[in-house]
């Protein structure tokens, strides 16, 4: 590779962003950052501190703002599982942040301006030296607007819900497909309509609907795009 670049992958929840971002980073020898896991971690922190009214889906924003500086997020490689895992104040929360309770409230946390501002600062610091693949909702529009390659992932809601259902089932999480589909549709609406960094495709992003594509087909498609960007 003649030069290192930033690859920004945005898109809808459960559209396969993380899967293809990990595969791309591994192939290139790049660092992979799952920005969504950072918002999930803040959500877990808020839930643990009883800062979310679950019945009304209301976040106690002022209280969260006052203690947000106590939230320290970092990533470590798990050599045994061969994956990158996220830590909240030195505690491994990689599996806990994937549970449905966090999924149900993450959109309410991620739309808060001061939360996004802190996460964006951390993300931009992680990408300073380039050679990074980061996925999320606003990577190509807000975090790295000058990224050399921007992708926007999409798939039918039903396909995304099925993928999420299988993923959770494999982890032993008991949840219905209908509950996940409702969660996917709800998150789409919240992500698209929030005031702070709404989900949208960057004007220079290349869109990929991967509803009927395998992981390998997606990787080969991306590698084809990279031929012109890196060499």
Helix (H) or strand (E) holding 207: strand 206-209
Q: State how far the Cα of 6 lies from the Cα of 28, in Å rounded to an integer.
A: 12
pLDDT for position 195: 87
Residue 122 tokens read as 């951390």
Contacts of 102 by beta carbon, 8 Å cutoff, 6+ apart: 40, 43, 44, 47, 96
Judge whether 145 and 200 are in contact, CB under 8 Å: no
In CATH, which superfamily holds the domain spanning 6-223?
Answer: P-loop containing nucleotide triphosphate hydrolases (3.40.50.300)
CA neighbor of 28 nearest in space, from 47, 7, 13, 42: 7
Per-residue pLDDT of the chain (231 residues; tens, 9 = 90+): 568 999 999 999 899 998 999 999 999 999 999 999 999 999 999 999 999 999 888 999 999 999 999 999 999 988 898 888 999 999 999 999 999 999 999 999 999 999 999 999 999 999 999 999 999 999 999 999 999 999 999 999 999 999 999 988 988 888 999 999 999 999 999 889 988 888 999 999 999 999 999 999 999 999 999 987 766
Contacts of 3 by beta carbon, 8 Å cutoff, 6+ apart: 230
CA neighbor of 1 nearest in space, from 32, 21, 27, 22: 27
pLDDT for position 65: 98
């Amino acid at each position: 590779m003649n030069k290192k670049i930033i690859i920004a992958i945005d898109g809808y929840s459960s559209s396969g962003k993380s899967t293809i971002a990990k595969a791309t980073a591994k192939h290139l020898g790049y660092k992979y950052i799952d920005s969504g896991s950072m918002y999930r971690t803040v959500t877990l922190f808020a839930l643990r501190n009883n800062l979310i009214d679950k019945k009304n889906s209301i976040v106690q924003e002022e209280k969260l703002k006052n203690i947000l500086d106590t939230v320290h997020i970092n990533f470590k490689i798990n050599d045994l599982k061969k994956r990158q895992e996220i830590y909240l104040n030195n505690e491994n929360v990689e599996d806990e942040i994937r549970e449905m309770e966090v999924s149900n409230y993450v959109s309410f946390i991620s739309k808060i301006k001061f939360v996004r501002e802190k996460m964006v600062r951390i993300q931009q610091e992680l990408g300073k030296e380039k050679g990074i693949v980061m996925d999320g909702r606003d990577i190509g529009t807000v975090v790295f607007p000058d990224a050399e390659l921007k992708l926007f992932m999409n798939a039918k809601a039903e396909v995304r819900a099925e993928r999420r259902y299988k993923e959770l089932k494999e982890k032993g999480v008991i949840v219905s497909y209908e509950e996940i589909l409702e969660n996917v549709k709800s998150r789409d609406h919240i992500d698209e309509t929030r005031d702070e960094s709404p989900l949208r495709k960057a004007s220079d992003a290349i869109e990929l609907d991967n509803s009927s594509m395998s992981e390998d087909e997606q990787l080969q498609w991306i590698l084809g795009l990279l031929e012109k960007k890196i060499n």
